[in-house]
Structure 1
Amino acid sequence: MKNEIKGILFDLDGTVLNTQKMNIIPLQKLVLEELGKSISYENLLEYSAYPGKKTLELLGFKNIETSYDKWVKYVNEFEEGAILYKGFDTVFRKLYEKQIKIGIVSSKTRKQYEIDFIPTNLEKYIQCLVLAEDTINHKPNPEPLLLGAKLLNLNPENIIYIGDTFADEIACKKANMKFALASWGAIQTINITCDFFLKLPEDILKIEM
C-alpha cells in the first residue's frame, strides 16, 4: 500500500528526552552573563524548536561559537541531565519487533546526542541518525527529514515523524510525511495540526502499521 507506515522518525528533545530544564536554565545564565538581560524561563521556551547556535543568533549573541561552547558547558554541569520519557523503552522494543524502521532526526549536535541519548541503551534500535552536523538546513526545512527517509531507504509517505513543535510540523508536511504530535513535551499545541495526537508515548503503538 502506498501510505503503509514502514518507518518512524523521532525528534529527541521534548519527544523522547525531557531536556527542558537542563537547557533553559543554563541559557538564562548565559543570557544574563553575556547580554546583560534577564529573560524569563517561559519566554526562552519559544526557542526550543531551533538548533542551539540558531537560538543564540536569534537572541543576539555575537560570538556564536564561543557562547555556544559555554552554553554546552553549563548544560553538562547542570545537576539534572536528560531524562527518558516513561514508556519509550517499551515503544522502541515493540516497534523493532514489528520490523518498523526507527530513526532519529534531531537538531541536537552529535556530542550532545552521545551525552544525552547513549545512556538510555536504546541506540541498538536506531537504524538511522540525522543530527545538526549532517545537513546544511534544519527544521522547519524538510532537509533533515528527507535525509532520514533516504537513510531508511523508505519513501517519505511511508514514514511518521514524531515531534513536539510547530517547526516539526512544518518540516514534516514539506517532507510529505505524516506528523504525530508528542503532546507530553509540547510547549503549546493550539496552532499545531497533526495526523496523530499522542497523549502518551505508548499511544505510538496504537497507530495502525
Structure 2
Amino acid sequence: MKYSCLILDHDDTVVKSTPDIHYPSFVEALKTLRPEMEPLSLEEFVSYCFNPGFSELCKDVLKFSKVEQEYQYKIWKSYTNSKPPDFYSGFSELIKEYKKLGGIVCVVSHSESEQISRDYMLNCNFTPDLIFGWDLEEHHRKPNPYPILEIMKKFNLDKHEVLVVDDLKPGLDMARSCNVEFAGAGWSHIIPDIKKYMKNNSDYYFPTVESFKEFILSK
C-alpha cells in the first residue's frame, strides 16, 4: 500500500450526511433562532462550511449566543442520533480491505466520536483506530494540527506514511499545517467553485470512490 495510515474526514467523505442530516437540522434550528431570516440553501450552507467553517458560521456570521449554540446543538444531536447516514457506495468495501491489509484507519471530523463509531460498526464491523471529533475542545479540532500530530505520535509514523482525505478546506488546511499529503474527496462536490479550489490545491483529487479505491489499494 502507498500509505500506512489514512486520516479520513467523515461527513461527505465517508458518509453522505450533509444533505440528509446536517443541513435539514440546521434549517430547523434557524426557524426558531432566526425566524425572520430567509433559510440558507444547501449550496449556501455547504459554502459556509467550506469557508470560513461551521463554527465560524455560527459564531461570526450568524452571531449565535452561547444559549443559541446550545439549542442548535440539541437539534443537530436529535437528528444525528435518530438517522445514521449511509456510507458512499463502495467505501465500506474499500476501508475493510485497507484494514485487512494492515492499514491504520483514523477519523478527524466535526461529527462526534459516538456517531462515527456507530457508523463504522454498522457499515464495517469495526471502529477506527483513533477518532478526533467535535467532542474535543475547540482548539484541538480540525483544522488545528493536533489530531495529525497525535496520530503520528501514537503510531510512530513519518509524514510520508500518512494521507489525509477530506472534501473541504479545513481538512486541507490541517494537512498543510503538518506537511502531509492530502487527497480531495470529490465525489460529494456539488458547488463548482469548491470543486475547482479542491482540485487545484490537493495533492490528489478523486471524482469517485472507485478511483480513490484503485489508488489507495495499489502497490
User: What TM-score bracket applies, with the shorter chain setting the length?
Assistant: 0.7 to 0.9
Report the more deviating stretch, 140-149 or 81-90. Answer: 140-149
Aligned residue in 1 for 2:197: 191
Aligned residue in 2 for 1:67: 72
With normalisation by structure 1, the TM-score equals: 0.84
What 5-or-longer segments of structure 2 have no aligned partner?
none
Q: Does 1:140 align with 2:139?
A: no
Aligned residue in 2 for 1:111: 114
TM-aligned CA deviation for residue 70 of structure 1: 2.5
Provide the C-alpha distance between the structure 2 equivalents of 1:134 and 1:197, rounded to a whole number of angstroms. 28
Provide the C-alpha distance between the structure 2 equivalents of 1:25 and 1:75, rounded to a whole number of angstroms. 11
Provide the C-alpha distance between the structure 2 equivalents of 1:30 and 1:134, rounded to a whole number of angstroms. 23
- Quickly say closer, same or farther: Cα 1:121–1:138, change in 2 above 3 A: same
Provide the C-alpha distance between the structure 1 equivalents of 2:117 and 2:129, rounded to a whole number of angstroms. 16
Aligned residue in 2 for 1:179: 182
* Partner-residue secondary structure (3-state), 2:197: coil
Task: Report the aligned-residue RMSD.
Answer: 2.4
Aligned residue in 2 for 1:86: 89
Provide the C-alpha distance between the structure 2 equivalents of 1:108 and 1:28, rounded to a whole number of angstroms. 17
Q: Does 1:27 align with 2:26?
A: yes
CA deviations 1:133-168 (Å, max 9, x no partner) are 345332222222222222333123310000000111
More helix by share: 2
Aligned residue in 2 for 1:127: 129
Provide the C-alpha distance between the structure 2 equivalents of 1:91 and 1:30, rounded to a whole number of angstroms. 35
With normalisation by structure 2, the TM-score equals: 0.80
CA deviations 1:81-120 (Å, max 9, x no partner) are 4110011122112212322222111121123324544322
TM-aligned CA deviation for residue 190 of structure 1: 1.0
Q: 2:5 aligns with which of 1, 4, 7?
A: 7
Provide the C-alpha distance between the structure 1 equivalents of 2:10 and 2:141, rounded to a whole number of angstroms. 14
Aligned length: 203
Runs ≥4 residues deviating over 3 A? 47-55, 74-77, 114-118
